[in-house]
Structure 1
Amino acid sequence: MLRHAAELAIRRPRTVITVWALVLVVGLGLGGAVFGRLGGLGANVPGSESQVTADRLNKLDPNPDTIDGLVTSTTAGRVITADTGLRSRVAAAVADLRAIPGVAQVPDPYQTPGATGDGQVVAIPVTFAGGISSDAEDVASRAAQDRLHAIATPDFQVRVGGGPLVGDALNQTAQSDAGQAEMISLPIVLLLLVVVFGGLLAASLPLVLALCGVASTLLVLYGFSFATDLSVYSVQITTMLGLGLGVDYALLMVTRFKQERAATPDIADCVRRTVSAAGRTVFFSGLTVAVSLVGLVVYPAPFLRSMGLAATAVVAVDMLAAVTLLPALLAKFGHRIKPASARRSEGRWFGRFAAGVVRRPVPVLVVIAVGLLTVATPVTALTLTPGDARELPASSESRQVYDLSVAHFPGRSAATPLYVLVQNGAARPDYLAHLRALPGVVDSAQKALPDGSAVLELTPAGTVNGKVATGLVQTIRDERQGASVTGDSAHLVDFRRMLVDRLPYATAVVLLSVFVLLFLFTGSVLIPLKAVLTNLLSIGAALGAMVWVFQQGHFAGLFGSGVKGGLGALDVTVPPLLIAVAFGLSMDYEIFILGRIREARLAGEDARSAVVTGVRHTGRVVTCAAALLMIVFACFMTGGAAPILEFGFGLTLAVLIDATLVRMMLVPAVLALLGEGAWWAPRALRGVHARFGVAEAPEPATEAGTAAAGRLQEV
């Protein structure tokens, strides 16, 4: 298959390049429409009690959206409730707001208890009519926002947020953050690639592949948006992967091409050999990363499932571009790329470093393992939250409304209400009174529904993810009195349970798939096991550091004032997504190194010498690829959305740990300790590998082919 792809690229490079150019244009053009089809999915789990109850309540008694306008003084600490000029402006605004078509209710804040908080703020909630179309509500919302902002004077400032405006702000932040990260990362990546390759043409090839990955990402997401809901963060996360893996794969391929150029002047032969060796590594790497992400599809949550599908597709597109577009570009322009110098090809520094690790594997293994386990310790305190306006940057108007509400309404709970649907509730006043009197309920409201049931709105003390709110959910469910609960805290409880219930299945899918692929690649049963354990160490350390920074607040201010002091919890979608993506990227570098180690073994080297040779030849590639990938991920931390900050930080750290401590030290140490035993497999499985696995391949009878040892068979 790969050989056919190489031959097509050599014979018809213009055709292959033209096809990918069309993909790039269509992807950037049509794929941009995906931003208008994104939404906030959060912790919703189809079929769960919270989701079923929410769907039923939406049919029986649609809960209309409400936005909040907050008026504050431009002078800090000033009490504004007695200002007659402001009072008249607010009264006029309330009258105008009530006249807007689609607006159902606007209470007079001066006649509503608690609407002025500590006296330094005036809150004006605007509730829209239930049952109107989303377009009509959008028109009414824009008109209401304009009228609220018109209250402002040089002495008074107005901020509008809450309700659907939080989701809109998250969507806008996702778009601006993705564009900003790409604008920052691409020039930096290009500059570093020029330094790495010593020429602009060779450096531009990984960038071309990365851009095709981004365009394909947008196109894939746009297609998925018609089949499933997509989160506002899906573009950023999959763009990270599209850019990062595109650069990774191209770096490996171009580096190998430059090395082959040093052995033979024939460009076509160099392309064939590059695809046969590095292309095969990319192929297996892409498959391994893809199956690592497929584990997300096991979860029924729309966010995780859609991210698993989209990210898997993106990896597949990057892999396809690496083994088709890149060979075509090399066949067309490869004569202008300088061969690798002898010094760079030999990788002497990495060889000496690996030899040192191989000589002292036990101390290296103990120190690295203990260090990573220590860094991973904060994972035991991991807390999840379904997210709210605090996920927005401090500069966001919706975030400012949230912060002002917390600061000036000290008696108001930070938790969102729980909605309890009670069957035949109208005939059960005692039970309704019992629910309203449960410990931890700070406010309540009751409403009868047309079908005879009743809905209670219970506001718990504390936060959405706090013990009081989640405990109330569990208490009501444990009583089994015909009541079902929904609301953000209930969704969170069900999401946590879903993660626990589906984790064994997701783990089994990923580990079995990875084991099979690595076994076919290496013929060993111990190397796949080693790969899983070492990957878990690096992922655990990255997740622990993420908890320490963003949840507990250590140095969180370095990532913006919006997360200063910590958020008290991580977004519920970040840890499972981080684990899946980081695991896949770890396997990416694992296969890079194993591919070269296996070539050395096929050339006749013993187990320990092969480890040194493998690290010597791939150390520079893995280090450069990791550095470029870290730049891409780090640039996504220049935005302000908390989940992307958490995800970008976790992935940056995971790549750093994996490419240095794990791949350059821990893996060589483990392989050195195992020796020849690392490549052991039972006799029955050896037969399976002999028939279906990767084996040595015949090469064309050229001088360069004879000199290049350990080529791999066509997939």
Structure 2
Amino acid sequence: MFSALGRFAYRGRVWVLLATGAFVVFAAVWGTGLFGAVIDGGFEDPAAESTRAAEAIQENLGHDGVDVVAVYRSDEIQVDNPTFAREVQRVVDDLPDEYVASATSYLDEGLGDIERGVLISEDRHAVYVPITLEGEDKAERMDSFHAIADDLDAGPLDTHLGGPVPIESELSEQAEADVVRAELISLPLLLLLLVVIFGGVVAALMPLAVGGLAIMGSLTLLRGLTYVTDVSVFAVNIATILGLGLAIDYGLFMVSRFREETHRTGDAAAAVPATLATAGRTVAFSGVTVMIAFAGLLFFPQPILRSIGLGGIAVVLFDLIAALVVLPALLAVIGRRVDALRLPSLGDEGWLLGYLVGRVRRRLRPGDSVVTAERGVAARTGRWSRLAHSVMRRPVLYLVAVGAVLVAFASALGSYQVGSTDQRYLPDSSDSRIATEMLREDFPAGGVGQIDVVVTGPVAEEDLAGFADDLGALEGAEGGQVVRAEGETAHLTVAYEGEIDDESTTDLVREVRAADTPPDADEVLVGGAAAQQLDSVEAILAAMPWTLLFVALSTLVLLFLAFGSVVLPVKAIVMGFLSLGASLGVVVWGFQEGHLAGVLGFDVVGTMDPTYLVLIIIVAFGLAMDYELFLLSRVREEYLITGDNTHSVAVGLQRTGQIITSAALLLVVVLAAMGSSDLLFLKIMGIGLALAVVVDATLVRALLVPATMRLLGGLNWWLPRPLRWLHDRIGISESEEAPEPRRAQEAEPVRAG
């Protein structure tokens, strides 16, 4: 199948490249309009009680929550100064009714002393104006905010805009800008590294071309998805940067194998199908494993996770098209010129291998295979092969030592504290974070939040008041009140102090939900930001086991089809989760506990939003299986030729160690560039995934895999007879371009020297 695809790409190379050029033009015109079609936020569970409470308020009473808090401050004059008062009044009076439902100023007539005092800072140098925006939903209110944001500036007064809508807007805008910056930073570095890896400019440009095409294709596919479902701006940011990294990795594997096949066959017409039959097959399986991982996100109800899942699937699908169709067509046109513009030797081991092979050729007995000799020399002289043999001489020692290190890393997960994404994830210079911190520090009631309670049914007025008093008397509550009541719907609030993810706040939400309902109430719904945070965490915890089960079982089936073994897939899954646990432990240790704060430059929050840990789990697991496939495919290819497990592991690691390390380095560059963001959640994602790649490509791939495969021996390739029958019929094996198997004794390495 893959060799046929290679022949198609070779014969139709001109048409493929012309179609690609037309697509790039279309993507540049239409696909780049994606950013105007995405949504902000998406962290809430649409079916949760807190969401239903917000919908009940919107539908029955109308939205009246505070969306924007405009803070005005002057260090020189106080709030009763005529200039200060005039500027604030001018801003409030000029707000258009089209976008603003209400705005309350300390200058409004009819305010009581307490209500007025709440709006004035304790040093009387600042005030805040709470604003409710027009709009039926979050998207419309976000549009209203963008329409008035510039109008809220109060001239000579320092102006800072806080509240849920400005915070969400700033998170989205900063994320978009930081991802673009990450791509601009990473692309030149990637080109430099690819030139060093390949030792030539032309070969280095090939994976980069795939990466650039992947970005354009990602934007176009995601733009198409916006017509079917909501796509979060955060999904665009994460999916496109990962799509770039994976596309370059796939391009690296394909170009490396094409160069090898070109040197072997001397003919691009033969090299392209052979490349697709070997590296192309592996890339295809790798892409499917990553898509399976992204599909696991569809089990979660939160729009941000679902849209990242859909976006990730779409992006990886385009990466595969670019790597398996467009790149082979480009290589078919370039042919042997892929080695053009080579750099002087950088001191790799190629000259030594050539010298040893030359000596072997002179010592061959009649009938001996040169290819066999070259394989034997490679298996015994390469640094990766030497590492593999060193590990396989002491497999138990390496297994215990590396396993202990990974478990030690993972132990930090025991201190994990659930948190929420808010202004604390913004840089300390951001406007909305400054406004929020000023409210908490300078105003009498600035640190008070509220839980919304919606009561439906024919409840008497005195019973509603009594219910509000009971809720206000709960431990951790700062009072309760009936805000509005129309018809058979009433809106109550319960005040609290602290962050929405504080343990005391979470306990209060649970107590409010457990409280006895008032007489004649049909339903009581508890909402607000703190309740939304609790509901989101519980939804993640409920979906996580099903996600892991789906990803693990689907990956097991795919690896079974790829390798014809039941042991190797199980080993891969176990090692994947062990590597994942170690990486997550380092993330918790570094970000939640703050040990990396000084190095990476962020303020410690003390908690961590589980959304990002879910994303790291899913993406890192997909990447772990990605590298597992590349290594084991080469090991299996050699095993089919020799039948020697130990020899095959050494040759497999020798032939893939350098390229997997190079691929990991390239991906780490992309992820580290994302981790350079000023946003804490992008920093967590970028650095967290980079750590996962480093752990997997070093401790797991280079040490654990050879150790376990040596201990398992022939069991690596064990397959019960019924499953062997099944694999013979539905398994996907190498095509006719793959090397022919031969007896193990024929592949005995030839000694050099």
TM-score normalised according to structure 1 size:
0.91
Which AA in structure 1 matches 2:632? L
Aligned pairs for 1:697-712 within 5 A: 697-699=735-737
Structure 1 match to 2:128: 124
Any idea what the Cα deviations from partners look like across 1:271-312, whole Å, max 9, x if unmatched?
Answer: 111111100110111111111211111222222112111101
Query: Do structure 1's residue 372 and structure 2's residue 370 form an aligned pair?
Result: no
Task: Give SS of 1:385's match.
Answer: coil
Structure 1 match to 2:446: 412
Report the CA distance between 1:618 and its aligned residue.
0.1
Any idea what the Cα deviations from partners look like across 1:581-603, whole Å, max 9, x if unmatched?
Answer: 10000000000000100011011
Match of 1:150 among 150, 154, 157: 154
Structure 2 match to 1:7: 7
Residue 471 of structure 2 contacts residue 480 of structure 2 at CA under 8 Å; is this kept in 1? no
Q: Distance in 1 between matches of 2:122 and 2:683?
A: 33
- Taking only the aligned residue pairs, the percentage that are identical comes to 35
Match of 2:436 among 393, 402, 412: 402
Is the alpha carbon distance of 1:417 and 1:334 closer, same or farther for their aligned partners in structure 2, counting shifts above 3 Å? farther
Structure 2 match to 1:106: 104
Is the alpha carbon distance of 1:576 and 1:480 closer, same or farther for their aligned partners in structure 2, counting shifts above 3 Å? farther
Which AA in structure 2 matches 1:365? L
Which AA in structure 2 matches 1:22? A
Q: Distance in 1 between matches of 2:677 and 2:538?
A: 31
Residue 427 of structure 2 contacts residue 678 of structure 2 at CA under 8 Å; is this kept in 1? yes
Task: Give SS of 2:118's match.
Answer: coil
Is the alpha carbon distance of 1:690 and 1:12 closer, same or farther for their aligned partners in structure 2, counting shifts above 3 Å? same
Which AA in structure 2 matches 1:31? G
Structure 1 match to 2:21: 21
Aligned pairs for 1:427-506 within 5 A: 427=461, 428-429=463-464, 430-479=466-515, 481=517, 482-506=523-547
Which AA in structure 2 matches 1:435? L
Between stretches 421-430 and 190-199, larger displacement belongs to 421-430
Any idea what the Cα deviations from partners look like across 1:594-640, whole Å, max 9, x if unmatched?
Answer: 01000110111411111111000000000000000000001012222
Query: Do structure 1's residue 278 and structure 2's residue 279 form an aligned pair?
Result: yes
Residue 222 of structure 2 contacts residue 314 of structure 2 at CA under 8 Å; is this kept in 1? no
Report the CA distance between 1:500 and its aligned residue.
2.3
Any idea what the Cα deviations from partners look like across 1:374-397, whole Å, max 9, x if unmatched?
Answer: 111221222233311222222321
Which AA in structure 1 matches 2:657? G
Task: Give SS of 1:68's match.
Answer: strand
Aligned pairs for 1:268-417 within 5 A: 268-338=269-339, 346=378, 348-409=382-443, 412-413=446-447, 416-417=449-450
Is the alpha carbon distance of 1:669 and 1:480 closer, same or farther for their aligned partners in structure 2, counting shifts above 3 Å? farther
Structure 1 match to 2:194: 193
Is the alpha carbon distance of 1:515 and 1:144 closer, same or farther for their aligned partners in structure 2, counting shifts above 3 Å? closer
Structure 2 match to 1:651: 689
Structure 2 match to 1:50: 50
Task: Give SS of 1:639's match.
Answer: coil
Match of 1:596 among 634, 653, 661: 634
Is the alpha carbon distance of 1:431 and 1:334 closer, same or farther for their aligned partners in structure 2, counting shifts above 3 Å? same
Structure 2 match to 1:214: 215
Report the CA distance between 1:122 and its aligned residue.
1.5
Is the alpha carbon distance of 1:98 and 1:587 closer, same or farther for their aligned partners in structure 2, counting shifts above 3 Å? closer
Task: Give SS of 1:465's match.
Answer: coil
Residue 119 of structure 2 contacts residue 127 of structure 2 at CA under 8 Å; is this kept in 1? yes
Which AA in structure 2 matches 1:289? V
Between stretches 375-384 and 172-181, larger displacement belongs to 375-384
Is the alpha carbon distance of 1:327 and 1:216 closer, same or farther for their aligned partners in structure 2, counting shifts above 3 Å? same
Is the alpha carbon distance of 1:328 and 1:92 closer, same or farther for their aligned partners in structure 2, counting shifts above 3 Å? closer
Task: Give SS of 2:121's match.
Answer: coil
Residue 34 of structure 1 contacts residue 221 of structure 1 at CA under 8 Å; is this kept in 2? yes
Q: Distance in 1 between matches of 2:540 and 2:137?
A: 34
Is the alpha carbon distance of 1:353 and 1:139 closer, same or farther for their aligned partners in structure 2, counting shifts above 3 Å? closer
Residue 68 of structure 1 contacts residue 123 of structure 1 at CA under 8 Å; is this kept in 2? no
Structure 2 match to 1:713: none
Task: Give SS of 2:159's match.
Answer: strand
Task: Give SS of 2:171's match.
Answer: helix
Match of 2:658 among 604, 610, 620: 620
Which AA in structure 2 matches 1:40? D
Is the alpha carbon distance of 1:41 and 1:96 closer, same or farther for their aligned partners in structure 2, counting shifts above 3 Å? closer
Q: Distance in 2 between matches of 1:48 and 1:101?
A: 29
Question: How many residues end up aligned between the 2 structures?
Answer: 694
Report the CA distance between 1:185 and its aligned residue.
0.4
Any idea what the Cα deviations from partners look like across 1:447-490, whole Å, max 9, x if unmatched?
Answer: 23323232112222221111222112222223352421111221
Any idea what the Cα deviations from partners look like across 1:56-94, whole Å, max 9, x if unmatched?
Answer: 2111123245322223346xxx78446554344334444
Structure 1 match to 2:605: 567
Any idea what the Cα deviations from partners look like across 1:118-173, whole Å, max 9, x if unmatched?
Answer: 31641332424545798996786467544442332xxx522223232222212211
Residue 389 of structure 1 contacts residue 402 of structure 1 at CA under 8 Å; is this kept in 2? yes
Report the CA distance between 1:342 and its aligned residue.
6.3
Any idea what the Cα deviations from partners look like across 1:662-713, whole Å, max 9, x if unmatched?
Answer: 10111111111111112112221121112222345433999xxxxx99xxxx
Structure 2 match to 1:632: 670
Q: Which of structures 1 and 2 has the bigger CA Rg?
A: 2
Report the CA distance between 1:197 and its aligned residue.
1.0
Q: Distance in 1 between matches of 2:275 and 2:656?
A: 14
Q: Distance in 1 between matches of 2:718 and 2:694?
A: 30
Query: Do structure 1's residue 246 and structure 2's residue 247 form an aligned pair?
Result: yes
Is the alpha carbon distance of 1:686 and 1:121 closer, same or farther for their aligned partners in structure 2, counting shifts above 3 Å? farther
Structure 1 match to 2:559: 518
Is the alpha carbon distance of 1:142 and 1:2 closer, same or farther for their aligned partners in structure 2, counting shifts above 3 Å? closer
Is the alpha carbon distance of 1:672 and 1:119 closer, same or farther for their aligned partners in structure 2, counting shifts above 3 Å? same
Give unmatched runs, 5+ long, in structure 2: 343-349, 355-377, 518-522, 741-745, 748-753
Is the alpha carbon distance of 1:131 and 1:357 closer, same or farther for their aligned partners in structure 2, counting shifts above 3 Å? closer
Residue 109 of structure 1 contacts residue 116 of structure 1 at CA under 8 Å; is this kept in 2? no
Between stretches 671-680 and 86-95, larger displacement belongs to 86-95
Query: Do structure 1's residue 576 and structure 2's residue 614 form an aligned pair?
Result: yes
Residue 39 of structure 1 contacts residue 171 of structure 1 at CA under 8 Å; is this kept in 2? no
Structure 1 match to 2:374: none
Between stretches 340-349 and 586-595, larger displacement belongs to 340-349
Any idea what the Cα deviations from partners look like across 1:183-237, whole Å, max 9, x if unmatched?
Answer: 1100100111011111111111101111111111111211222222222211111
Report the CA distance between 1:331 and its aligned residue.
0.2
Q: Distance in 2 between matches of 1:550 and 1:109?
A: 44
Q: Distance in 1 between matches of 2:220 and 2:230?
A: 15
Q: Distance in 2 between matches of 1:700 and 1:628?
A: 28
Is the alpha carbon distance of 1:121 and 1:634 closer, same or farther for their aligned partners in structure 2, counting shifts above 3 Å? farther
Task: Give SS of 1:107's match.
Answer: coil
Is the alpha carbon distance of 1:698 and 1:34 closer, same or farther for their aligned partners in structure 2, counting shifts above 3 Å? closer
Is the alpha carbon distance of 1:108 and 1:631 closer, same or farther for their aligned partners in structure 2, counting shifts above 3 Å? same
CA RMSD across the alignment: 2.6
Q: Distance in 2 between matches of 1:697 and 1:637?
A: 41
Q: Distance in 1 between matches of 2:40 and 2:98?
A: 27
Q: Distance in 2 between matches of 1:437 and 1:701?
A: 77
Task: Give SS of 1:457's match.
Answer: strand
Query: Do structure 1's residue 536 and structure 2's residue 577 form an aligned pair?
Result: yes
